[in-house]
């Protein structure tokens, strides 16, 4: 993945998470992965198109998702209901949109697709044809792994 | 950006701290096996590695005493560790003429031990040795001085003194019962009936040293010696041995600094900085005329970008008017992140880079138009990539940082991605793994094409 793409995603994730959760966020070490990755339980996916093709996946456990949704809505949620799901979807949208805006300022043209949310047990995401950058974020209510896979259009 | 960059540096520091434990190799041992398990004895206690052929049986000795042996005129007693530790003895090995053994040199006596097979010499930090655990039931815990893990194998370190101390006390007891049994037996057999042990002497003693350097390079620098660079390693080992002999210093590499010194002559001309004009000229000569409209190149392990910029510059000069694309990859995030915005002082810049440089407030940098030809990517070369067919692959001095298995995968990838007329550039001391698929380009050093 081009190094110019990395920072916008890292910064956008950090800024948005810190802002919406209103608490400290710690970024873990970035790494690359090309094998299939288990999904923790809740995954929000945003597709990218334009100069490039790819996707951004926000992966977290159900408990973390409920925790985030509770903080963002200012009320204690106990299950991941429609409101909770909409909140996580919106979070994915916020982060990706800010990253794409930053990339636009650097001269790269990206479009994004509306986010989709997946929930379930024992899910796996396959990265077999493209290498993914993993940005782990530690939050007060758990961790989110941001999985960015982008390649130039041939 | 400052936020992210700051924490990147912190991550680096954390990693270093973690690695500090295996920074100093201060314990070496010879490893061997006894009924399938791995054991080791401190190399300082070992006089030599030998093959024993015939022992002189000593009547009335303990069962684990195999007999006495004439070691170039000295009579030493030989113990069988397998019997001492109540381990099964392979009958087949028993009947063979020669048996593997170690000759231990302790404070006062020299003693031989028979083992199943000698493995190799390994080195590690003594901080990694763990105390023996009562669970190692095969062997009485008093003979064990510790346990260490090395490359996924668990070695039990034996305490040579204790093993032989036991022998001493037993021998004394035996002596008192049967006065001077050993001496009598030894004296009774004339010198002609002894056979000299086939001592490995100098030739084989050198091999563990060589293997040991091989392993320390791997430990300290992640640097593999494979057929890619075996030829260089052989030459360098002889040179290094001679140098250390003259200095009267220890042959082995004790720290990362030693390993760097050892590898100093490995790296190709101008690695890790901008190429000098003569290096650039040398590579330019290897480039053939191209008729295509697009030239696509891949530079692996570009680090901070010096290699990729130099390479792109000679391609841009050689093929003016052609659309040039260079993919520059590295899996060191911190290094490759600085590459697109590389700023430098142009005091001693080589001439061939001149046309592509602009002066800025903080120093010189490359023209945007030139930079746009190079795609710096954070990428692990072992992962799938979306590269098109390539005209050139620049992989100088990166292959040793992959295992031989991974090198084979990379060469297969190179072969697949390279156009039939394409060129592969390796480091000055490197050659392809599979020589049947690659042919050297005449008149150029370490440049190959598909055969």
Of the candidates A1, A3, A32, the beta carbon closest to that of B340 is on A3
Mean pLDDT over residues A62-72, rounded? 92
Which of chain A's residues have a Cβ under 8 Å away from the Cβ of B379?
Answer: 1, 32, 131
Residue B78 lies in a domain: yes
Of the candidates A1, A29, A131, the beta carbon closest to that of B11 is on A29
Mean pLDDT over residues B333-350, rounded? 81
**pLDDT tens figures, B274-289:** 888 888 888 888 888 7
Are B218 and B356 part of one and the same domain? Answer: no
Q: Does A3 contact B377 at a Cβ distance shorter than 8 Å?
A: yes
Q: Does B375 contact A2 at a Cβ distance shorter than 8 Å?
A: yes
- What letter does residue B360 receive in the DSSP assignment? -
Query: Which of the four pLDDT bands, split at 50, 70 and 90, describes residue A60?
Result: very high
Percent of chain B, pLDDT > 90? 1
| Final residue before a domain boundary, out of B148, B175, B199 | B199
Q: Does A130 contact B384 at a Cβ distance shorter than 8 Å?
A: yes
Are B127 and B97 part of one and the same domain? Answer: yes
A108 at B interface, C-beta within 8 A? no
Q: Does B375 contact A152 at a Cβ distance shorter than 8 Å?
A: yes
Residue B11 lies in a domain: no
Q: Does B337 contact A128 at a Cβ distance shorter than 8 Å?
A: no
Are B213 and B291 part of one and the same domain? Answer: no
What pLDDT score does A13 carry? 92
Chain B residue closest to A150 (CA)?
B386
* CA dist list (Å): B49 to B104, B105, B117: 9, 11, 11
d(C-alpha A44, C-alpha B125), whole Å: 46
Which of chain B's residues have a Cβ under 8 Å away from the Cβ of A1?
Answer: 377-379
| Least-confidence region, from A112-116, B139-143, B146-150, B222-226 | B139-143
CB-neighbour burial class of residue B83 (10 A; exposed 0-12, middle 13-18, buried 19+): middle
Query: Does the pLDDT of residue B23 top 80, yes or no?
Result: no
**pLDDT tens figures, A70-127:** 999 988 989 889 999 999 999 999 999 999 999 999 888 888 899 999 998 888 887 6
Q: Does A11 contact B4 at a Cβ distance shorter than 8 Å?
A: yes
Mean pLDDT over residues B3-14, rounded? 41
Q: Does B7 contact A133 at a Cβ distance shorter than 8 Å?
A: no
Q: Does A131 contact B383 at a Cβ distance shorter than 8 Å?
A: yes
- Centre a 10 Å sphere on the Cβ of residue B21 and count the other Cβ atoms it contains: 10
Are B375 and B288 part of one and the same domain? Answer: yes
Are B258 and B194 part of one and the same domain? Answer: no
What pLDDT score does B166 carry? 53
Q: Note the CATH number of domain A3-152.
A: 3.40.1550.10
**pLDDT tens figures, B39-82:** 899 888 888 888 877 777 777 777 788 888 887 778 888 888 88
Q: Does B378 contact A133 at a Cβ distance shorter than 8 Å?
A: yes
A97 at B interface, C-beta within 8 A? no
Q: Residue B118: enclosing H or E segment and its boundaries?
A: strand B117-124
Which of chain B's residues have a Cβ under 8 Å away from the Cβ of A129?
Answer: 384
Residue B3 lies in a domain: no
d(C-alpha B257, C-alpha B312), whole Å: 32
Number of domains, chain B: 3
Query: Which of the four pLDDT bands, split at 50, 70 and 90, describes residue B117?
Result: confident
Q: Does A3 contact B11 at a Cβ distance shorter than 8 Å?
A: no
Token readout for B275 is 């190429």
Mean pLDDT over residues B22-33, rounded? 80
Of the candidates A1, A33, A128, the beta carbon closest to that of B378 is on A1
A25 at B interface, C-beta within 8 A? no
Mean pLDDT over residues A49-68, rounded? 89
Are B250 and B354 part of one and the same domain? Answer: no
Which of chain B's residues have a Cβ under 8 Å away from the Cβ of A130?
Answer: 384, 386
| Final residue before a domain boundary, out of B153, B176, B199 | B199
**pLDDT tens figures, B268-323:** 878 778 888 888 888 888 888 777 788 889 999 877 888 888 888 888 888 888 88
Which of chain A's residues have a Cβ under 8 Å away from the Cβ of B388?
Answer: 154
Are B319 and B235 part of one and the same domain? Answer: no
| Final residue before a domain boundary, out of B199, B229, B244 | B199
Residue B16 lies in a domain: no
Are B85 and B214 part of one and the same domain? Answer: no
b/e code A39-72 from CB counts within 10 Å (16+ = b)? bbbbbbbbebeeebbbbbbbbbbbebbbbbbbbb
Residue B52 lies in a domain: yes
What pLDDT score does B191 carry? 39
What pLDDT score does B90 carry? 65
**pLDDT tens figures, B182-237:** 444 444 443 334 444 444 444 444 567 777 888 888 888 888 888 888 888 888 88
Are B31 and B54 part of one and the same domain? Answer: yes
Here the CATH number for the domain that contains residue B49 is 2.40.50.180
Residue B8 lies in a domain: no
What pLDDT score does B341 carry? 83
Chain A residue closest to B2 (CA)?
A11
Query: Does the pLDDT of residue B18 top 90, yes or no?
Result: no
Here the CATH number for the domain that contains residue B397 is 3.40.50.150
What pLDDT score does B136 carry? 58
What pLDDT score does A64 carry? 92
Q: Residue B407: enclosing H or E segment and its boundaries?
A: helix B404-417
Residue B7 lies in a domain: no
What pLDDT score does A46 carry? 92
Name the residue range of residue B102's domain: 24-199
Chain B residue closest to A35 (CA)?
B383
Are B250 and B314 part of one and the same domain? Answer: no
Query: Which of the four pLDDT bands, split at 50, 70 and 90, describes residue A128?
Result: low
Are B182 and B149 part of one and the same domain? Answer: yes
Are B165 and B237 part of one and the same domain? Answer: no
Percent of chain A, pLDDT > 90? 41
Of the candidates A10, A30, A34, the beta carbon closest to that of B384 is on A34
């Amino acid at each position: 993945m081009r190094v110019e793409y990395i920072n916008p995603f890292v910064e956008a994730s950090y800024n948005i998470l810190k802002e919406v959760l209103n608490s400290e966020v710690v970024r873990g070490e970035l790494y690359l992965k090309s094998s299939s990755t288990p999904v923790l339980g809740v995954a929000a996916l945003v597709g990218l198109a334009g100069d490039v093709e790819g996707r951004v996946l926000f992966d977290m456990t159900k408990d973390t998702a409920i925790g985030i949704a509770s903080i963002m809505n200012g009320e204690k949620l106990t299950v991941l209901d429609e409101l909770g799901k909409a909140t996580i979807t919106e979070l994915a949208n916020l982060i990706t949109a800010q990253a794409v805006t930053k990339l636009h300022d650097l001269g790269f043209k990206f479009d994004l697709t509306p986010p989709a949310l997946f929930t379930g047990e024992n899910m796996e995401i396959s990265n077999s044809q493209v290498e993914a950058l993993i940005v782990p974020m530690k939050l007060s209510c758990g961790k989110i792994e941001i999985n960015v896979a982008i390649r130039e259009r041939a | 950006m400052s936020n992210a960059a700051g924490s990147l540096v912190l991550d680096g520091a954390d990693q270093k701290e973690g690695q500090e434990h295996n920074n100093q190799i201060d314990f070496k041992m010879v490893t061997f096996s006894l009924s399938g398990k791995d054991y080791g004895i401190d190399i300082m206690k070992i006089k030599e590695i030998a093959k024993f052929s015939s022992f002189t049986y000593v009547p009335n000795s303990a069962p684990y005493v195999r007999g006495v042996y004439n070691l170039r005129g000295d009579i030493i007693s030989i113990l069988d560790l397998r019997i001492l530790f109540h381990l099964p003895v392979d009958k087949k090995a028993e009947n063979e003429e020669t048996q593997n053994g170690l000759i231990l040199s302790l404070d006062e006596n020299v003693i031989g031990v028979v083992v199943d097979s000698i493995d190799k010499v390994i080195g590690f930090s003594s901080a990694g040795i763990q105390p023996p655990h009562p669970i190692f039931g095969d062997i009485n815990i008093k003979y064990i001085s510790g346990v260490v893990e090395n490359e996924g194998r668990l070695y039990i370190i034996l305490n040579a003194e204790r093993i032989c101390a036991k022998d001493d006390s037993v021998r004394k007891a035996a002596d008192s019962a049967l006065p001077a049994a050993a001496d009598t037996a030894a004296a009774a057999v004339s010198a002609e009936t002894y056979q000299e042990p086939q001592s490995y002497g100098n030739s084989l003693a050198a091999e563990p040293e060589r293997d040991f350097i091989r392993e320390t390079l791997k430990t300290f620098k992640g640097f593999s010696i494979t057929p890619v660079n075996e030829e260089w390693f052989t030459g360098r080992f002889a040179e290094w041995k001679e140098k250390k002999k003259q200095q009267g210093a220890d042959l082995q590499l004790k720290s990362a600094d030693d390993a760097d010194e050892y590898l100093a002559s490995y790296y190709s001309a101008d690695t890790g900085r901008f190429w000098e004009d003569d290096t650039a000229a040398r590579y330019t000569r290897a480039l053939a005329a191209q008729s295509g409209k697009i030239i696509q190149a891949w530079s692996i392990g570009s680090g901070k970008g010096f290699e990729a910029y130099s390479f792109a510059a000679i391609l841009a000069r050689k093929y003016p008017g052609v659309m040039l694309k260079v993919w520059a990859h590295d899996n060191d995030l911190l290094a490759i992140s600085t590459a697109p915005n590389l700023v430098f002082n142009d005091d001693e810049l080589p001439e061939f880079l001149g046309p592509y440089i602009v002066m800025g407030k903080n120093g010189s940098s490359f023209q945007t138009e030139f930079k746009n030809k190079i795609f710096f990517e954070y990428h692990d070369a072992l992962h799938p990539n979306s590269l098109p067919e390539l005209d050139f692959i620049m992989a100088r001095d990166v292959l040793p940082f992959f295992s031989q298995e991974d090198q084979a995968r990379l060469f297969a990838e190179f072969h697949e991605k390279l156009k039939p007329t394409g060129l592969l550039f390796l480091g000055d001391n490197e050659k392809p793994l599979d020589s049947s698929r690659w042919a050297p380009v005449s008149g150029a050093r370490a440049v190959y094409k598909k055969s």
